[in-house]
């Protein structure tokens, strides 16, 4: 029972990690919270529902195409709604946060008008399960695990090993330093916004059978994103990966051993507890440990 | 007279309605070291930020190799051969020393050019090679300034602009820093620096501008200024 819950929590946690990484990336680079982040998830979920159950496209087509569509939507949002604000004032953080908050409401209302308020969804992408004796895992959850692990690795390598990743890291730490090195800030902002939306498209597609899709479904991932980001340290990618897994496990445990009704409550109480002792999140401590290992 | 490398004419800068720079004229010729000195609040940092385009409320003319650059976005300048180390050093505290240098070489296209730049910088600043896997934030103030210089030099720019490189450093480190700046100059890079430490500025620079309250009040060779009564009184305490 305990192992089963641990495995379930770990698997859902890796998806929360993906949700958290996309959110924390934008905070790290632009120092803003993207309140429309959950709505990017919602759009990907609706898109997956249409493509998978109306157009009968296979999942391996649906997933990458939703990532591409959301990359475009994210980049376009940045370019058409946020960039004009940035160009008019140097103090753009708060106005841009308000723009994303407005966009959240507008997209929710549009979804309500176009799609109606009903819950939609598919029962499952993959049937059957794997019985290992000590633990039973459905193929669908294995797929979720595989997709999120691959995505996290690819994202990590993109950030750490590519020139674009270096420019994101540079911008997140010193805008002047990045500009003077020849890094085009506008371009980094636009591409990172696209990347962030493409990342959250993955849980949008993969979790649709579990969470269904409705106009305000974005509330669920954005709450997870907040929790994971705070837990991991604002803007800290490694922290968000670990934070997502911690949140997934604590949610599952709370649901199994306390009450399914207390799932979110217990998980968030746990988060508050960690923040009391580690106000900057666990990310900075991960980094210190990493430094010690490297320089021993 | 040779062609100027950087020519600033009739530059005025503002913070909202407040004017902070008036009618600035500065020329820098190839293979010079030029210093701008002045007390706190004279507008030196604003001037350097205006040149790089980090401060945009300004008008006038800034020409680099005869090309007008005042309307260019700041990230284009390094492609022309103009590098600047800003007042906060412009390094990335949570990146390793090596990644800081690689970011400094962002404008270089080929991997080979980046690799040879890295070798060259490590030869010039051996301490950076020793510390290459350390986070920039874990370096001492002097080492961080070395890193800032190294990062600024990765593209071997024609002009390197430094904003108070000696600030916050121990005297022995300042002396070493000045040696490094001389070395950079010998490698063929022209240097424009802002200094509060007048002795160092007069010793290292060929020509010096004196700034007061947002205006240039004096200009001359270091020897001239060293003998100038006004400079003696105001800055050298003699």
C-alpha–C-alpha distance, residues A173 and A234, integer Å: 13
Confidence band for A284, pLDDT divided at 50, 70 and 90: confident
Nearest CA in chain B to A236: B94
pLDDT the model gives residue A123:
83
Write out the residues of chain B at the interface with chain A, using a CB-CB cutoff of 8 A: 52, 54, 73-79, 83-86, 88-95, 99, 102-107, 133-135, 138, 151-152, 155
Q: What percent of chain A has pLDDT over 70?
A: 98
Task: Tell me, letter by letter, the H, E, C secondary structure of B7-62.
Answer: EEEEEEEEECCEEEEEEEEEEECCCCEEEEEECCCCCHHHHHHHHHCCCCCEEEEE
DSSP B234: I
Out of B79, B90, B134, closest to residue A176 by CB? B90
Residue-wise pLDDT tens digits, B142-161: 999 999 999 999 999 999 99
pLDDT bin (cut points 50, 70, 90) of residue A292 is low
Q: What is the pLDDT of residue B228?
A: 81
Mean of pLDDT values over A55-81: 96
B135 contacts A180? CB cut-off 8 A: no
The pLDDT tens digits of the residues spanning B89-102 come to: 899 999 999 999 99
Q: Is the pLDDT of residue A14 over 90?
A: yes
In angstroms, the CA B52 to CA B55 distance is: 8
A79: Cβ contacts below 8 Å, ≥ 6 apart: A190
**Token pair of B51 as six digits:** 């040149």
User: A64-68, B37-41, B79-83, B126-130: lowest mean pLDDT where?
Assistant: B37-41
Gap between the Cα atoms of A124 and A128, Å rounded: 10
A183 touching B, CB under 8 A? yes
Q: What is the mean pLDDT of residues B107-121?
A: 95
pLDDT of B166-222, one tens digit each? Answer: 888 888 889 899 999 999 999 999 999 998 888 888 889 999 999 999 999 989 888
Q: What residues does each domain of chain B span?
A: 1-81+191-238
Q: What is the pLDDT of residue A296?
A: 46
| Bridge partners of residue B192, in order along the sequence | B34, B161
- Per CB-CB distance under 8 Å, the chain A contacts of B86 are 176-177, 180
Q: How far is CA B13 from CA A115, A277, B38, in A?
A: 54, 47, 17
Is residue A294 predicted with pLDDT exceeding 60?
no
Q: Contact at 8 Å (CB) between A156 and A14?
A: no
CB atoms near residue B94 (< 10 Å): 16
Indicate whether A262 pLDDT > 90.
Answer: no
- ipTM surpassing 0.90: yes
State what percent of residues in chain B have pLDDT above 70.
98
Does A251 have pLDDT greater than 50?
A: yes
Whether pLDDT at B232 is above 90: no
pLDDT exceeds 60 at position B59: yes
CATH 3.40.50.300 fits B1-81+191-238, yes or no: yes
Q: How far is CA B88 from CA B164, B167, B193, in A?
A: 9, 10, 14
Predicted local distance difference test score (pLDDT) of residue A100: 96
Instruction: Please answer whether residues B26 and B86 qualify as being in contact, where contact means their C-beta atoms are separated by less than 8 angstroms.
Output: no
Nearest to A182 among B54, B78, B94 (CB): B78
What local confidence, expressed as pLDDT, does residue A71 receive?
A: 98
Dihedral pair phi/psi, residue B40, rounded to 5°: -55, 135
How far, in Å, CA of A239 to CA of A28, rounded? Answer: 12
- Within 8 A of A166 by CB-CB distance, chain B residues are 99, 102-103, 106
Number of H helices, E strands in chain A: 14, 2
| pLDDT tens digits, A101-160 | 999 999 999 999 998 889 998 888 988 898 888 889 999 999 999 999 999 999 999 999
Q: What mean pLDDT comes out for the span A29-54? A: 95
């Amino acid at each position: 029972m305990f192992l089963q819950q641990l495995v379930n929590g770990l698997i859902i946690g890796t998806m929360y990690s993906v949700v958290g990484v996309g959110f924390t990336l934008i905070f790290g680079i632009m120092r803003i919270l993207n309140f429309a982040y959950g709505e990017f998830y919602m759009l990907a979920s609706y898109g997956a529902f249409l493509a998978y159950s109306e157009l009968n496209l296979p999942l391996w087509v649906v997933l990458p195409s939703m990532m591409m569509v959301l990359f475009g939507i994210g980049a376009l949002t940045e370019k058409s709604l946020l960039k004009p604000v940035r160009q008019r004032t140097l103090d753009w953080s708060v106005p841009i946060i308000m723009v994303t908050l407005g966009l959240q409401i507008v997209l929710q209302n549009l979804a309500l008008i176009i799609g109606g308020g009903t819950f939609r969804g598919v029962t499952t992408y993959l049937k059957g399960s794997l019985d290992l004796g000590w633990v039973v895992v459905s193929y669908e959850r294995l797929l979720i695990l595989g997709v999120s692990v691959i995505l996290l690795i690819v994202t990590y390598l993109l950030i750490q090993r590519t020139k674009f990743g270096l420019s994101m890291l540079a911008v997140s730490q010193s805008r002047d330093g990045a500009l003077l090195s020849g890094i085009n800030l506008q371009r980094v902002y636009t591409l990172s916004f696209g990347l962030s939306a493409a990342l959250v498209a993955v849980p949008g597609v993969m979790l649709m059978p579990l969470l269904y899709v409705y106009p305000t479904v974005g509330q669920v991932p954005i709450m997870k994103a907040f929790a994971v980001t705070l837990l991991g340290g604002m803007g800290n990618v490694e922290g968000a990966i670990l934070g997502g897994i911690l949140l997934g496990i604590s949610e599952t445990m709370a649901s199994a051993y306390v009450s399914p009704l207390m799932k979110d409550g217990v998980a968030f109480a746990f988060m508050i507890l960690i923040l009391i002792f580690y106000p900057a999140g666990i990310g900075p401590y991960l980094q210190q440990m990493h430094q010690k290992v490297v320089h021993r | 007279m040779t062609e100027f490398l950087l020519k600033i004419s009739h530059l005025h800068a503002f913070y909202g309605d407040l004017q902070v720079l008036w009618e600035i004229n500065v020329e820098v010729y190839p293979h010079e070291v030029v210093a701008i000195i002045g007390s706190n609040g004279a507008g030196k940092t604003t001037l350097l930020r205006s040149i790089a385009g980090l401060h945009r409320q300004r008008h006038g003319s800034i020409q680099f190799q005869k090309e007008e650059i005042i309307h260019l976005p700041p990230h284009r300048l390094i492609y022309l051969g103009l590098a600047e180390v800003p007042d906060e050093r412009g390094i990335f505290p949570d990146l390793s020393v090596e990644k800081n240098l690689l970011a400094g070489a962002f404008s270089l296209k080929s991997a080979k050019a980046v690799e040879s730049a890295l070798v060259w910088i490590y030869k010039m600043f051996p301490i950076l090679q020793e510390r290459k896997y350390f986070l920039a934030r874990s370096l001492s103030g002097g080492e961080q300034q070395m890193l800032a210089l190294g990062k600024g030099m990765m593209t071997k720019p024609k002009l390197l602009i430094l904003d108070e490189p000696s600030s916050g450093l121990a005297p022995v480190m300042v002396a070493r820093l000045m040696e490094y700046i001389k070395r950079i100059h010998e490698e063929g890079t022209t240097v424009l620096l802002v200094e509060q430490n007048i002795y160092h500025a007069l010793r290292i620079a060929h020509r010096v501008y004196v700034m007061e309250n947002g205006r240039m009040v004096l200009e001359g060779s270091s020897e001239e200024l060293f003998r100038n009564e006004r400079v003696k009184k105001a800055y050298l305490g003699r």
